Structure 1
């Protein structure tokens, strides 16, 4: 089974992905494309650009296509597209739709970690709170656009894990 965790930054997505991997240690774990690309020497802009996010989106597509049967992805093309669109409102979403649709068909379970009210994680000005909120809203729209069934999780990490596991056991 392939599981993708999606959400804006500073919502606990990576922590959840890592804890989920602890529950499924035989699964391959794919970190955020940002970190893999950084390790490969890619130098990102200080202020995020659409090109930065498109590079990550392309890497995310490759992660999905090269993954084995059982994998956990910390990010997927959906949230990276949301970031790219948030920083460049002229981005042609329709030109990317089929490419993304084909790749995400490989994913069996999408877990969405939204910004909660009240917010569980403080987001300092340096963490781009406006971008975070815009991306969160865009992800919700993209979930509809791609007609995805998602497990939306809330609460503590253990509550979120329980919500995922209860859906997977059904």
Structure 2
């Protein structure tokens, strides 16, 4: 196996849990490097962008396509936030998730973690957690997740 592919899979395992590396990055994933630094920058599957590597903190930001791959392959993914159906339309357009709309959140979520935003049925966005999982469920005001990509805006 290619050394770089092994490395990005290991980072995905660290970031999202066991099984995430292979679920996200199959053997035919294509790695694109920065022209300036030569470091890993983007990971594609065919022509579809799956993830962008952030070298400043060493983790991935996901696309909707990558989130759907993770949800399909890993049933007990820890980094998910489930929201009310009524707000799904707004979040899928890229609006932030407010704490009062959170139904459940993975127990391991900490501020700064990359999370997948779900309704009961589907992936509607990905973003960065701003609160602990306990705070997301307990608070009635404030932003819980800063939405990075909505399902409609990332199509």
TM-score band by shorter chain is under 0.3
Q: TM-score, normalised by structure 2?
A: 0.26
User: Which structure shows the bigger proportion of residues in strand conformation?
Assistant: 2
User: Which structure shows the bigger proportion of residues in helix conformation?
Assistant: 1
**Structure ranking higher on relative contact order (CA contacts 8 Å, 6+ apart):** 1
Q: TM-score, normalised by structure 1?
A: 0.25
